Amino acid sequence: MGLFAEGERTVLRLTHRGLETFPVDNPDLARANFVEGWSAIIGTSLPEFIARRQSA
């Protein structure tokens, strides 16, 4: 994971490693689920959290 300045913005790079070590017969551990989960956390939950903190 890394944070990088890009103009007046900050870019977050998150790399989830080790997925190949998870059991392939468990659909809950499919790569698509991780992509969806991280996208929701970073794209929705994190901005909402930051907005609440800034308004407190």
What is the tens place of the pLDDT at every residue in 18-47? Answer: 999 999 999 999 999 999 999 999 999 999
What is the pLDDT, as a whole number, of residue 16?
87
What is the pLDDT, as a whole number, of residue 21?
94
Which of these, 12, 11, 15, lies nearest to 34 by C-alpha position?
A: 15
In a 3-state reduction of DSSP, which class is residue 9?
strand
Which of these, 39, 15, 46, 12, lies nearest to 4 by C-alpha position?
A: 12
What is the pLDDT, as a whole number, of residue 6?
95
Query: Which residue range(s) make up the domain with 24?
Result: 2-55
What is the pLDDT, as a whole number, of residue 30?
92
Q: How would residue 5 be classed by pLDDT, with cut points 50, 70 and 90?
A: very high
What is the pLDDT, as a whole number, of residue 56?
80
Number of independent structural domains in the chain: 1
